[in-house]
């Protein structure tokens, strides 16, 4: 009996330490998601305002930034949860869409600049 009580007393501080580290992880991840989302929104605004790229790419960048801001808010309020999973997947899909679109535009621009002029 004395051994069990001693083990329980030793578990409490360990659990508290682990819980503190988990909260720090949530806070750090939430901040990182907010900042990445803000960066994508600003980058999307810059792309939408330039004449060299299609505006829709900038809009997709901004939407993916909003997804990351939502993800940061959910992480800060709920921690790692099922709601966070939907925000992560939405952000990934939007980022993948604008990256592929930007790649296609870059290839087309590169090919048209190589075309010989008479």
- Read off the pLDDT of residues 60-70 as tens digits, 9 standing for 90 and up: 999 999 999 99
Name the helix (H) or strand (E) containing 24: helix 2-49
Is the pLDDT assigned to residue 116 strictly greater than 70? no
C-alpha–C-alpha distance, residues 13 and 19, integer Å: 10
Q: Is the dihedral of CA 29, 32, 38, 39 positive or negative?
A: negative
Q: Give me the percent of the chain exceeding a pLDDT of 70.
A: 87
Contact predicate 65/39, CB 8 Å: yes
Confidence of residue 100 (pLDDT cuts 50, 70, 90): very high
Please give the full DSSP string across 54-113, using - where no structure is assigned.
-HHHHHHHHHHHHHHHHHHHHHHHH-S-HHHHHHHHHHHHHHHHHHHHHHHHHHHHHHHH
Nearest Cα to Cα of residue 106 among 57, 72, 71: 57
pLDDT, position 10: 73
Largest pairwise CA distance in the chain: 95
pLDDT of 4: 72
What is residue 5's predicted lDDT score, i.e. its pLDDT?
A: 67
pLDDT of 60: 94
* pLDDT reported for residue 56: 93
Query: What pTM does this model have?
Result: 0.77
């Amino acid at each position: 009996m004395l051994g069990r009580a001693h083990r329980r007393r030793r578990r409490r501080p360990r659990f508290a330490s682990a819980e503190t580290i988990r909260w720090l992880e949530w806070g750090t991840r939430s901040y990182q998601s907010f900042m990445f989302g803000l960066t994508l929104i600003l980058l999307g605004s810059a792309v939408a305002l330039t004449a060299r790229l299609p505006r829709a790419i900038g809009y997709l960048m901004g939407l993916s930034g909003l997804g990351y801001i939502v993800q940061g808010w959910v992480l800060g309020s709920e921690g790692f949860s099922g709601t966070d999973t939907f925000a992560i997947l939405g952000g990934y899909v939007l980022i993948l869409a604008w990256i592929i679109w930007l790649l296609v535009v870059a290839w087309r621009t590169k090919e048209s600049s190589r075309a010989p002029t008479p």
